[in-house]
Structure 1
């Protein structure tokens, strides 16, 4: 199929009043698909601008650059009448309004759903919230750590290693999962409007989004009523199901099926292990998986990582060397696929952008402008609004 230069969401204008990660990740996804995203920030800017050390300019943290490419920025103090009027003018031109301001606060500012619908009747109004509005947590503040705690995610690592202290997963995973749900919600609402001409209010709650994500496997035995076992996906909570040591590092090996387990021990030159009565049959191997993983870890130090990878690939067994996060820029696959795109930011200089991972036959990967400074495009946006009047 021939590619076209026309972005798939070209002509869709998104007014983005979100900050930090959840909302910006959603709107970044839309910008990658060609939507025009206008980021509305307070005069000091999105708080996430200051989350880490910049290259040169305060307010240009690496994570902010990663989450805000392809967007334009206008700085507005929504408590000031003139700036509030500017946002109203923007909303008259918008297809989508997305924000993460709490309900009572957005009402005080005059931008609740009914007020915005009066400005633009077919608006797609997306509210990124911490908790669903019809539950007892509705008015609580939410950040990634809070959501990890509320969903029970902080009790997963204790189940693995026996250390009873609840711990966060070292990723803003709840924010990012909810952000993808936010982008999905916008796309579905856009299709609905194309079919019916109608806008709508859409609520995307981070708690419910992340619970839905984590409990696919970890609801476990309490899926049934009465329960048939404990919570958690046993295979992922196994303390020995970790990268295995080699002569010069670590390797990840995933013998997912019983046939692959048998094949693996042949490759590891440890077929005799399966003569142990604990591992003699498939069901016994599952029942004694912790001990079985321990046997794999006992055998893998015999050879180097490269040697094992060659043998495992020849046997068609899934495996990969453990790579340090600091070395990810040098990954040969990511380099060849163009995942990292070295760009020049007007104020921050050379940096590595991450291209959107999904590829479309009919749409080339976009070459977006880098993340903006606070209010960088305010003058041009105001001039455009004046021309439209």
Structure 2
């Protein structure tokens, strides 16, 4: 059995997954979003990339400008704390390197269609024969056995097929739109990271390795329908789907004298106090707003009244007044404002780091705090095949 290569990191990983060995054959967004969670938590992640074609490596390397022409902004965010090696596993010598890595790996994760992986000799049964204890995670587009099981999946396709893109049509009455975020990829990536850790926990409890399939369509539909199944939850259903509050067209930041503000009075006291502060003390005498159930039915009218009230003061005036009265509110930030948000500055969320290859760049701290096993950014996103020689040499190739 080949020994897992002893990797040299820029700093020592300290997170709760330190010592977990991951072979990462995932590309683009969904898979790398899962594996960067594992890497941030201290797992030793070796990223496998194919150098064939005109755009070698992970396609996200080439999306957007970068100083190296290999570190597109999304790639840089999703591939820190990883080592990189180029392998063309159609070649016997590169196939042997991957097999050697898998012998001692704890996790093998990829988003290649399973039929293709089986043709290449790295389906679950073949990998299990190499390492019976491995957790094999397949990030699929659609669950096996379903009508779409062999199709490709991308964020836009999943937003459309899950009904998520229909929310904007229901809210605004216009044509459906995609959310301006790779939300289906990232949500499914979080499912994949969670599933990987659950399977590792089961293995630690004596249940051995296993095959884990993470189907993007099902994961994102589950995420989306938690609140939006709504009137079709109980049978027979009402036909009304979409949580009434979240699909209301007036659910948006409210205008103030100088900008916008987000306000969410949630209990009866907060609602009554808000309208009292706004000079409308009689609003809650209206039976449409007197109880939580009635407010839910008449959300649109309630939001319209809020817009009238908020327009009478500046954002800062409202923030001070609402804070004094314990009513939840936040300033509306445009994206550039987030970079200087005082809370994020206090917790050092955005970090400016310097790499000998990339120069200065901005990254984000892992958002979860672990008191006993603190999480750190311990390695810069790698160049193509940056660690190929080191890994091959350590494996005896």
Q: Give the alignment's TM-score, normalised by structure 1.
A: 0.95
In structure 2, what is the Cα distance between the partners aligned to 1:283 and 1:201?
45
In the alignment, what sits opposite 1:341?
351
1:283, CA displacement in angstroms? 4.7
| Structure with greater helix share of residues | 1
In the alignment, what sits opposite 2:48?
40
In the alignment, what sits opposite 1:173?
183
In structure 2, what is the Cα distance between the partners aligned to 1:309 and 1:340?
24
In structure 2, what is the Cα distance between the partners aligned to 1:335 and 1:251?
20
For residues 37-78 of structure 1, what are the alpha-carbon distances to aligned partners after superposition, in whole Å with 9 as ceiling and x for unaligned?
000001111011112121x11121111111011000001112
Q: Does 1:124 align with 2:124?
A: no
In the alignment, what sits opposite 1:204?
214
In the alignment, what sits opposite 1:17?
25
In structure 2, what is the Cα distance between the partners aligned to 1:161 and 1:195?
50
1:127, CA displacement in angstroms? 0.5
1:285, CA displacement in angstroms? 3.7
1:282, CA displacement in angstroms? 5.2
In the alignment, what sits opposite 1:99?
110
Give the length in aligned residue pairs: 382
In structure 2, relative to structure 1, the CA distance for the partners of 1:281 and 1:90 (3 Å cut) is closer
Q: Does 1:384 align with 2:384?
A: no
Consecutive unaligned residues in structure 2, runs of 5 or more: 1-11
In structure 2, relative to structure 1, the CA distance for the partners of 1:91 and 1:279 (3 Å cut) is closer
What is the RMSD of the two structures over their aligned residues, measured on CA atoms? 1.6
1:23, CA displacement in angstroms? 0.8
Secondary structure of the residue that 2:245 maps to in structure 1?
helix
1:272, CA displacement in angstroms? 3.6
Q: Does 1:160 align with 2:168?
A: no
In the alignment, what sits opposite 1:306?
316
1:346, CA displacement in angstroms? 2.4
State how 1:39-78 maps to structure 2 within 5 Å: 39-43=47-51, 44-54=56-66, 56-78=67-89
In structure 2, what is the Cα distance between the partners aligned to 1:191 and 1:245?
48
In structure 1, what is the Cα distance between the partners aligned to 2:295 and 2:197?
45
In structure 2, relative to structure 1, the CA distance for the partners of 1:216 and 1:286 (3 Å cut) is closer
Secondary structure of the residue that 1:183 maps to in structure 2?
helix
Q: Does 1:79 align with 2:87?
A: no
Q: Does 1:353 align with 2:363?
A: yes
In structure 1, what is the Cα distance between the partners aligned to 2:81 and 2:254?
41
In structure 1, what is the Cα distance between the partners aligned to 2:26 and 2:290?
56
In structure 2, relative to structure 1, the CA distance for the partners of 1:286 and 1:123 (3 Å cut) is closer
In structure 2, relative to structure 1, the CA distance for the partners of 1:162 and 1:258 (3 Å cut) is farther
Secondary structure of the residue that 1:271 maps to in structure 2?
coil
In the alignment, what sits opposite 1:109?
120
Secondary structure of the residue that 1:139 maps to in structure 2?
coil
Q: Of the candidates 144, 147, 151, which is equivalent to residue 155 of structure 2?
A: 144
1:300, CA displacement in angstroms? 1.1
Secondary structure of the residue that 1:330 maps to in structure 2?
coil
In structure 2, relative to structure 1, the CA distance for the partners of 1:129 and 1:280 (3 Å cut) is closer
In the alignment, what sits opposite 2:252?
242
